[in-house]
């Protein structure tokens, strides 16, 4: 059997290696249009800054290794320009034909490059290949770069901004949306934005690029920004041209079935170029992530070898380093739920990385989205330690169709240096369960303006910092001062993180109040959002 794989990235390389493990006699050929095969794309921002020092560490494999270990033929600089489905061959740009029994399309995606004046200036770069990263490193080293601008606040854009800052380059990040990191909601993004500003990066939000000159960027707002180097990071577009020209079914990406077959049963596709089913909505979505691409390559190889294997939809589970913070997410965020008109509840909690009495515990913010049946729709978190581990747990519960109750029931590792007897995952489930059972009414930052605010912390905390307009009734005095609380107005109770205000709300509910709410994540989240808002206003002045 002859198998030709177009593309030597995560999906293509994974497919080729799995094929060889399953079939020693299969003739396997990888056609890669660049001069690189199987590189660690996700490490490129860190290679640009020298955090990853050795170039060889980015090279996961080489043509020689593929040949020696797997007897796989890799042809670099071999761009496929045509697929002949009838005669079952592909044609390269050098007019060479490669015949196949099974064909795999694993071409990935290309960086989006808008048609703007000056976009082809020699000091404007994208970050997709190792050569891209080499060019960035060399340009910085040879041109005394002082000012950098990153265009796009997605994962790669944020990572590039951080790594440019590590090089002591004055760095600005421009994002058309009103927040960076659109896979997460504003509460989580506010922590990341504040962390970036604290490390010297200026965020220019709700603005876009109008044009480039050699050393200046003009924004849609009219503002002009000097720059020595610019990094384009405004997203990627699936590579579908070859498939489309071959008459395969495409939409935004290549259409595939659960076995990752295209509309031609002898042609498979995987990686960033395909549409997958959303785990939450079952709609067709584009989710360009390395983990799914690797799994898809393995699944394609299984099916080629007669082993029925299916791709089980995508959750979009991902993680990002933002200086000393970690941001992680799985499933849908609020924006997507609202867009697709999916009803939901939300809770936000603050949990420590490990037991508070053990040294160096750090807090993290967790957000959980779920429906009235207790089905988990998404989760997000930001903090310094243990963030991704908790999101991974929630993603695994979701994958196995677990509900809120399974978060409560999860039996997770506990020792003081690592967690608490009630892990933040358990606490998140308990909080959601309380909301569903009606034991607490949640309130959020956006609810504060028209409510009576009661700070239930001790007077010392209240005097140090509170929310404007709030009165102080410490929880220890609540039962004796209950007559001071109105029953005809919406009352929001708050504390540092939301736990004490929950306790206070339970007291009042059992004294006949039905208008009391507990502020999710307390004044800790409120302060972070306010800090972010004030920075945005300052940036506009």
> What's the pLDDT tens digit per position in 283-305?
999 999 999 999 999 999 999 99
Residue 87 has pLDDT above 80, yes or no: yes
Residue 421 has pLDDT above 60, yes or no: yes
- Model confidence at 540, pLDDT cuts 50, 70, 90, reads low
Give kind and range of the element (H or E) at residue 274.
none
Residue 424 has pLDDT above 80, yes or no: yes
Average pLDDT value for residue range 457-475: 97
Residues in the chain: 541
Residue 104's nearest CA partner among 8, 33, 39, 25 is 8
Q: How far apart (Å, rounded) are the C-alpha atoms in residues 329 and 432?
A: 17
User: Coil, strand, or helix at residue 331?
Assistant: strand
> What's the pLDDT tens digit per position in 175-220?
999 999 999 999 999 999 999 999 999 999 999 999 999 999 999 9
Per DSSP, 56 falls in state: G
pLDDT of 527: 97
Average pLDDT value for residue range 152-164: 97
Of 42, 48, 305, 431, the active-site residue reads 42
253 contacts 270 by C-beta, under 8 angstroms: no
> What's the pLDDT tens digit per position in 239-285?
999 999 999 999 999 999 999 999 999 999 999 999 999 999 999 99
Residue 538 has pLDDT above 90, yes or no: no
What residue has token string 């490059």?
113
pLDDT > 90: percent of the chain: 97
pLDDT of 51: 96
Exposure letters 95-105 (e unless 16+ CB within 10 A, then b): eeebebebbbb
Enumerate the H helices of 480-521 as residue ranges: 499-509
Average pLDDT value for residue range 10-16: 96
Q: Radius of gyration (Cα) for the chain, nearest Å?
A: 26
> What's the pLDDT tens digit per position in 484-534?
999 999 999 999 999 999 999 999 999 999 999 999 999 999 999 999 999
DSSP string across 61-109? --HHHHHHHH--EEETT--EEEEETTTTEEEETTS-EEE-SEEEE---E
The overall average pLDDT reported for the chain is: 96
pLDDT of 132: 95
Q: How many CB atoms lie within 10 A of CB 86?
A: 5
pLDDT > 70: percent of the chain: 99
DSSP string across 16-54? HHHHHHH-TT-EEEEE-SSS--SB-GGGHHHHHHTSS--
Q: How many CA atoms lie within 13 A of 3 on its CB side?
A: 31
Sheet strands side by side (includes 325-331): 318-322, 325-331, 376-383, 363-370, 345-352
Residues 6+ apart with CB under 8 A from 103: 3, 4, 5, 6, 83, 88, 90, 266, 267, 268
Residue 541 has pLDDT above 60, yes or no: no
100 contacts 2 by C-beta, under 8 angstroms: yes
Q: How far apart (Å, rounded) are the C-alpha atoms in residues 299 and 471?
A: 60
pLDDT of 537: 77
42 labelled catalytic: yes
Q: How far apart (Å, rounded) are the C-alpha atoms in residues 57 and 50?
A: 12
DSSP string across 379-445? EEEEESSSHHHHHHHHHHHHHTT-BHHHHHH------TTT--SS-HHHHHHHHHHHHHTTS--EE-G
Q: What are phi and psi of 56, to 5 degrees?
A: -60, -25
Q: What are phi and psi of 3, to 5 degrees?
A: -120, 125
Torsion of CA 323, 328, 334, 337, to 10 degrees: 140
User: Coil, strand, or helix at residue 310?
Assistant: coil
pLDDT of 283: 93
DSSP string across 193-234? HHHHHHTTPEEEES--EEEE-SSEEEETTS-EEE-SEEEE-S
What residue has token string 């959002």?
529
Q: Six-digit token pair at 106? A: 């694993």
Per DSSP, 290 falls in state: H
Average pLDDT value for residue range 54-59: 91
- Model confidence at 71, pLDDT cuts 50, 70, 90, reads very high
Q: How far apart (Å, rounded) are the C-alpha atoms in residues 80 and 62?
A: 20
Average pLDDT value for residue range 337-350: 97
Claim: this prediction has a pTM higher than 0.85: yes
Give kind and range of the element (H or E) at residue 538.
helix 522-540
Q: How far apart (Å, rounded) are the C-alpha atoms in residues 370 and 354?
A: 25
- Model confidence at 101, pLDDT cuts 50, 70, 90, reads very high
Average pLDDT value for residue range 223-230: 97
Q: How far apart (Å, rounded) are the C-alpha atoms in residues 166 and 48?
A: 10
């Amino acid at each position: 059997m002859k198998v030709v794989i177009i593309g030597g990235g995560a999906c293509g390389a994974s497919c080729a290696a799995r094929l060889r493990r399953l079939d020693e006699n299969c003739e396997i050929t990888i056609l890669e249009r660049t001069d690189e095969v199987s590189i660690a794309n996700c490490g490129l921002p860190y290679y640009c800054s020298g955090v990853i020092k050795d170039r060889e560490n980015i090279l996961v494999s080489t043509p020689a290794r593929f040949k020696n270990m797997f007897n796989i033929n890799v042809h670099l600089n071999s761009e496929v320009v045509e697929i002949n489905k009838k005669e079952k061959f592909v044609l390269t740009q050098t007019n060479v034909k490669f015949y196949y029994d099974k064909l795999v399309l694993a071409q990935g995606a290309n960086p989006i490059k808008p048609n703007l004046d000056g976009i082809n200036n020699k000091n404007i770069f994208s970050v997709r290949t190792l050569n891209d990263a080499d060019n960035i490193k060399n340009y910085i080293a040879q041109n005394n770069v002082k000012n950098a601008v990153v265009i796009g606040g997605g994962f790669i854009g944020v990572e590039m901004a951080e790594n440019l800052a590590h090089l002591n380059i004055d760095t600005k990040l421009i994002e058309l949306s009103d927040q960076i990191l659109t896979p997460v909601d504003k509460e989580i993004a506010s922590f990341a934005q504040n962390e970036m500003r604290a490390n010297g990066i200026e965020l220019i939000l709700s603005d876009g690029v109008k044009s480039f000159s050699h050393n200046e960027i003009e924004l849609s707002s009219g503002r002009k920004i000097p720059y020595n180097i610019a990094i384009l990071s405004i997203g990627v577009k699936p590579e579908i041209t070859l498939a489309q020209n071959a008459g395969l079914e495409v939409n935004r990406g290549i259409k595939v079935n659960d076995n990752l077959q295209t509309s031609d049963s002898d042609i498979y596709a995987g990686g960033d170029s395909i549409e997958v089913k959303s785990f939450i909505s079952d709609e067709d979505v584009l989710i360009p992530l390395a983990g799914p691409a690797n799994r898809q390559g393995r699944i394609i190889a299984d099916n080629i070898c007669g082993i029925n294997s299916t791709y089980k939809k995508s959750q979009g589970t991902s993680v990002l380093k933002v200086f000393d913070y970690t941001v992680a997410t799985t499933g849908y965020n609020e924006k997507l739920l609202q867009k697709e008109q999916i009803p939901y509840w939300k809770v936000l909690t603050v949990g420590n990385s490990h037991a508070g009495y053990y040294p160096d515990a750090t807090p993290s913010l967790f957000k959980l989205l779920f429906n009235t049946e207790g089905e988990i729709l998404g989760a997000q978190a930001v903090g310094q330690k243990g963030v991704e581990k908790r999101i991974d747990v929630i993603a695994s519960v979701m994958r196995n169709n677990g509900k809120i109750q399974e978060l409560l029931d999860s039996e997770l590792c506990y020792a003081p240096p690592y967690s608490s007897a009630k892990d933040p995952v358990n606490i998140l489930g308990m909080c959601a369960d309380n909301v569903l059972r009606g034991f607490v009414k949640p309130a959020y930052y956006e609810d504060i303006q028209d409510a009576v605010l009661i700070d239930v912390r001790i007077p010392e905390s209240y005097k140090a910092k509170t929310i404007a307009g709030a009165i102080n009734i410490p929880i220890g005095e609540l039962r004796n001062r209950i007559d001071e609380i109105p029953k005809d107005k919406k009352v929001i109770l708050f504390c540092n993180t939301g736990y004490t205000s929950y306790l206070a709300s339970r007291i009042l509910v059992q004294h006949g109040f039905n208008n009391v709410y507990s502020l999710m994540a307390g004044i800790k989240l409120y302060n972070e959002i306010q800090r972010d808002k004030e920075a945005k206003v300052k940036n506009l002045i």
